[in-house]
Amino acid sequence: MPFRESYRAESMASSRVRMRRVMAMGIFSLVAILGMACSSDTDETPAASQPTTSVATATPEPAASATVAASGTDAVESSATPVGTKIVAAATVVSTAEPTQVSASISYSPRVLSEAASSCTPGMSTDDQKIVLVDIGEQLFGGTTAHDVETERLHYAPDARDRRQGGLWVVIEYNGDEAATVADKKAGIEAHMRDAYEIFFNAGCDELMQVDISARMVATGAGVIGPMTQTLAVVFKTRMQSEDAAAINWADKDTIDFSQVWNELLLNRRWRDELEGN
């Protein structure tokens, strides 16, 4: 073989060897890079690799009575117990095809101060005054209704709480005694509330600033499906402030028009229509 051709063959063979080495090194580098990438994906901390789950916590609605929104009062209080800014009138439905009249007389008998055994003493702490006020509420509204001995008079336990504007605030929601007419029902409710306010504001609890009382009665309304139904619902609410109670001559309470003293809210349209003669 001539020298030139021999040299060319050796050069080509050497080039092929160098090319194979370069390719082998390139493949090795690529494998190393891929291995590092895979390693970086699996080396994350558990906290980072886990999906984040957000849990929304829901604050329960106040479960009970609504605050009376009447003119001349302070800002509406917020509550965690019976009182909120929405009126809740849901209760057990008594299924009946036609509204029934309850032929019962007013059974409420006036209370006197001696019937409320609890009272506050000078210098009593706020927490102790709360205990006394709750005890008075249980005494005044305890037991069962006159028309149904299976119905507890207190719908919710009495509540004495801190008032946003200062002092204490008592909330009562109770089941009233049924009577033959709406006028008799309302008269019984008002008498019960009037005596309760007298006892609350004369119990010596100097931090008591406000009392709200709501009365529940059997109310007639349209059912969701079907005929008219009767259900227990809040029908009448009142609120009295300490300054209004202090201006009352309680000895003459039978001659006072308390609708001019307390803030009141009549919630049942049928009651309103009947009282107005419509």
User: How many CB atoms lie under 10 A from the CB of residue 186?
Assistant: 20
Which pLDDT does position 126 carry in this prediction?
96
Taking each continuous run of H as one helix and of E as one strand, the counts in the chain are 6, 6
Taking CA atoms, 217 is separated from 99, 185, 263, in Å, by: 14, 9, 19
- Helix (H) or strand (E) segment spanning residue 24: helix 3-42
Q: Residue 181 corresponds to which tokens in the numbers above?
A: 């007419």
Which pLDDT does position 4 carry in this prediction?
55
Question: Mean pLDDT in runs of 10 for the chain (278 residues)?
Answer: 57 66 66 54 40 40 39 42 39 40 46 65 95 95 88 93 96 92 92 94 96 90 65 92 96 93 91 86
Contact 206/242 with Cβ under 8 angstroms?
Answer: no
Length of the chain: 278
Q: At what angle do helices 126-141 and 182-201 cross, to 10 degrees?
A: 150
Which pLDDT does position 270 carry in this prediction?
86
Which pLDDT does position 117 carry in this prediction?
64
Angstrom distance (rounded) from CA 153 to CA 145:
5
Which pLDDT does position 269 carry in this prediction?
85
Burial code of 66-90, b = ≥16 C-beta within 10 A, e = fewer? bbbeeeeeeeebebebbbbeebbbe
